[in-house]
Chain A
Amino acid sequence: MRAIEVSGLEREFEGAIRAVDGVDLEVAEGEIYAFLGPNGAGKTTTVRMLTTLLRPTGGRALVAGHDVVDEAAEVRRAIGVALQEAALDPLMTGRELIALQATLHGLVGAEATRRGDALLARVGLAQAADRRVGTYSGGMRRRLDLASALVHEPRVLFLDEPTTGLDPVSRKAIWEEVAALNREGTTVFLTTQYLEEADNLADRVGIIAKGKIVAEGTPASLKAEVGKPHLEIGLADGSAAQAERVCTAFGRRLPEKEGKVLVELEGGAAEVAKVVRALDDAGIAVESLDLVEPTLDDVFVAKTGEHLEGDIEQAPAAAEAG
């Protein structure tokens, strides 16, 4: 059975604003699916529909085999949700929040306490469990939010921008925890603005722009669609023309960048050693050599004509300012 099946999903807001415009997607059991797109692309609106927080205005979505409109209660029993901004009460302690979350899912008594303690220990918050959430760092809040979403051992976990605004260390800690959960069998649907997050964590990526999915596949297959890796070769003065002649044998020459010779490798990364040998045989002194793989941003540019990076660069700063 598919963990998530979506067909023609739409959501229109007042003023004929179509935030989600006919999204189709499938997520297999045990998969990590990343929904990648800039701010306002429709990621959060899609997640809110899949988690029953928002009714679709068109199309259909099944989560854990249940319709998000007609069987909303069954969907809620099967899912864990950690929403954007880590909506936590700063006046509660971590332990109180986990206990409340357990109560919301019908867990009581010793079982609820045992699960709560285990989860707090798992996310490294056992020592801080009796402190108010208001005193937690951003990373601690995200980890607490993640723990609270797991209290009832959900089949499908929804994470809406789980690392937005976090420092690299905290971000990595969340990634490791999500990957570990997935290895234990939890299906994960996450939204992100971070290329690196989608690339490292996801089995498959859906790129969304202006409410529509513009590309979908594994990170490797998406990148392979838009081009091959290329070499950026830094050279001593005067040898560029000679290097270009040597490199032509390995693939198409790309426009020069910052004085470096760029060549697309027809045979992929496996040809790097051959290029180095050929340059050496020709007596060309190489100052630097970088293998550049296509990124998901290249995919985004190819599909939409716009860069995703601008939003990504600004996201942490915006989060800190807010």
Chain B
Amino acid sequence: MNRLGVNLRVVAALGRRSVRQTFRRPQLFAPILVFPTLLLAIQTGGAGGAIELEGFPQVNGFLDFMLAGAMVQACLLAGNSGGIALAVDLEMGFTDRLFAAPISRFAIVAGRLAGTAALGAVTAVWFIAIGLIFGATIEGGVAGAILVLALVALSAMAFGGIGAAVALYAGRASVVQGLFPLVFVILFLSDAFFPANLMLEPAGTIAEYNPLSLIVDGIRELVVGGLDAGAVAEALAAIALIGGLSIALSAVALRRRLRLGA
């Protein structure tokens, strides 16, 4: 087998391990599915009347509006959990096993990100299923649902890059865990849970320029509006921006770690 083949197999194997690890460790699994589901239930049940506000987007129901936010929240937390898991691997020396193998060192990070993307896809399926069970409609149809799944998986990978970069730089799970509150600050300063045009200033302006809002809008449009190439393209651009930066930072942090032999 050639080197590329070996490295692709390694990425797949490490991705599978990452998914298994998440499902076997409740503290990694809970933030990805349980917390966003609870928040979705609480917000949908308690703030459903918001759709009556003047200026609120035209939607079939508040749950339809909220699904995209829940999915992106799950992606952010999946990225954070992936970073924590990588830091735990570093702390316990498991990554030494990988660094001592004849593979591309970046395959180790790519494997973790592949696992995070797969977890993103799982959350997309979960929230689409919840939405459909509780009366939401996916206006984009089957194609729209597939696009939602792809956008969510790619978002998870992009956010996973941030977690991986912090994990590789700090090497401590507690530091990556410290990002957890930041996830909610970034989320609430986007239009994940509330339309940016109805927010007070300066939150509204921040939400408007927050790239997370573009990702949420792209997913949301497929749920509440239908197939919208423009919105999907903007979401992809935002994912590419975040993913490009985070993965580049991961690569730099990995090189630094290998150089220092930490």
Q: Does A220 contact B (CB under 8 A)?
A: no
> Which residues of the partner chain B approach A55 to less than 8 Å between Cβ atoms?
259, 261
> Which residues of the partner chain B approach A51 to less than 8 Å between Cβ atoms?
100
Q: Which residues of A88-106 are within 8 A (CB) of B?
A: 88-89, 91-92, 96, 99-101, 103-106
Stretch at the interface among B19-27, B128-136, B228-236: B19-27
B interface SS class: helix
Q: Which residue in chain A gives the minimum CB-CB distance to B22?
A: A91
> Which residues of the partner chain B approach A89 to less than 8 Å between Cβ atoms?
17, 21, 89, 92, 94
Given the interface pairs A55-B261, A91-B25, A106-B1, the reply to whether A79 lies near B100 with Cβ below 8 Å is yes
Q: Which residue in chain B gives the minimum CB-CB distance to A81?
A: B100
Contact B102 A91, beta carbon cutoff 8 Å: no
Interface string of B78-92 (1 = CB under 8 A from A): 000000000001001
Q: Which residues of B98-121 are within 8 A (CB) of A?
A: 98-103
Contact A108 B9, beta carbon cutoff 8 Å: yes
Q: Does A228 contact B (CB under 8 A)?
A: no
Contact B102 A77, beta carbon cutoff 8 Å: yes
Q: Which residue in chain B gives the minimum CB-CB distance to A104?
A: B101
Contact A54 B103, beta carbon cutoff 8 Å: no
Q: Which residues of A31-50 are within 8 A (CB) of B?
A: 48
A215 CB, min distance to chain B CBs, angstroms: 27
**A96–B99 CA distance with the chains assembled, in angstroms:** 18
**Other-chain residue from A73, A91, A100 in contact with B13 (beta carbon distance below 8 A):** A100
Q: Does A87 contact B (CB under 8 A)?
A: yes
Contact B261 A54, beta carbon cutoff 8 Å: yes
A158 CB, min distance to chain B CBs, angstroms: 9
> Which residues of the partner chain B approach A84 to less than 8 Å between Cβ atoms?
93
**A83–B259 CA distance with the chains assembled, in angstroms:** 19
A69 CB, min distance to chain B CBs, angstroms: 12
**A301–B10 CA distance with the chains assembled, in angstroms:** 48
A134 CB, min distance to chain B CBs, angstroms: 10
> Which residues of the partner chain B approach A108 to less than 8 Å between Cβ atoms?
1, 9
> Which residues of the partner chain A approach B14 to less than 8 Å between Cβ atoms?
100
Contact B101 A105, beta carbon cutoff 8 Å: yes
Q: Among the interface residues B24, B96, B98, which one has the most CB atoms of the partner chain A within 10 A?
A: B96
Interface string of A62-96 (1 = CB under 8 A from B): 00000000000110110101011101110110001
**A96–B20 CA distance with the chains assembled, in angstroms:** 11
> Which residues of the partner chain A approach B93 to less than 8 Å between Cβ atoms?
83-85, 87
**A52–B100 CA distance with the chains assembled, in angstroms:** 7
**Other-chain residue from B17, B96, B100, B103 in contact with A92 (beta carbon distance below 8 A):** B17
Q: Does A282 contact B (CB under 8 A)?
A: no
**A99–B20 CA distance with the chains assembled, in angstroms:** 14
How many residues in B have their beta carbons less than 8 Å from beta carbons of A? 25
Q: Does A53 contact B (CB under 8 A)?
A: yes
Contacts across chains A and B counted by CB atoms under 8 Å? 74
Contact A53 B89, beta carbon cutoff 8 Å: no
A100 CB, min distance to chain B CBs, angstroms: 6
**A234–B249 CA distance with the chains assembled, in angstroms:** 71
> Which residues of the partner chain A approach B20 to less than 8 Å between Cβ atoms?
91-92, 96
B14 CB, min distance to chain A CBs, angstroms: 8
**Other-chain residue from B10, B89, B92 in contact with A104 (beta carbon distance below 8 A):** B10
Contact A83 B97, beta carbon cutoff 8 Å: yes
B8 CB, min distance to chain A CBs, angstroms: 11
**A83–B93 CA distance with the chains assembled, in angstroms:** 8
**A89–B24 CA distance with the chains assembled, in angstroms:** 11
A105 CB, min distance to chain B CBs, angstroms: 6
**A52–B259 CA distance with the chains assembled, in angstroms:** 11
**Other-chain residue from B13, B24, B25, B99 in contact with A53 (beta carbon distance below 8 A):** B99
Q: Which residue in chain A gives the minimum CB-CB distance to B91?
A: A87
Q: Does B6 contact A (CB under 8 A)?
A: yes
> Which residues of the partner chain A approach B259 to less than 8 Å between Cβ atoms?
55
Contact A87 B94, beta carbon cutoff 8 Å: yes
**A53–B100 CA distance with the chains assembled, in angstroms:** 6
B84 CB, min distance to chain A CBs, angstroms: 13
A107 CB, min distance to chain B CBs, angstroms: 9
B167 CB, min distance to chain A CBs, angstroms: 15
> Which residues of the partner chain A approach B9 to less than 8 Å between Cβ atoms?
103, 106, 108
Given the interface pairs A89-B21, A89-B89, A91-B24, the reply to whether A104 lies near B98 with Cβ below 8 Å is yes
> Which residues of the partner chain B approach A77 to less than 8 Å between Cβ atoms?
102
Q: Which residue in chain B gives the minimum CB-CB distance to A148?
A: B97
> Which residues of the partner chain A approach B13 to less than 8 Å between Cβ atoms?
99-100, 103-104
B178 CB, min distance to chain A CBs, angstroms: 23
Q: Which residue in chain A gives the minimum CB-CB distance to B24?
A: A91
5 A-B pairs with least C-beta separation: A87-B93, A54-B261, A104-B101, A76-B102, A103-B13
Write 21 A-B pairs (CB below 8 A) sorted by A numbering: A73-B102, A76-B101, A77-B102, A79-B100, A81-B97, A81-B100, A83-B93, A83-B100, A85-B92, A87-B94, A87-B96, A87-B97, A88-B94, A89-B21, A89-B92, A91-B21, A96-B17, A103-B9, A103-B10, A104-B101, A105-B102
Measured CB to CB, the residues of A under 8 A from B are: 48, 51-55, 73-74, 76-77, 79, 81, 83-85, 87-89, 91-92, 96, 99-101, 103-106, 108, 132, 148
- Given A88-B94, A104-B13, 12 more A-B residue pairs with CB atoms under 8 Å apart are A54-B261, A85-B93, A87-B93, A92-B17, A100-B13, A100-B14, A101-B101, A104-B98, A106-B1, A106-B9, A108-B1, A108-B9
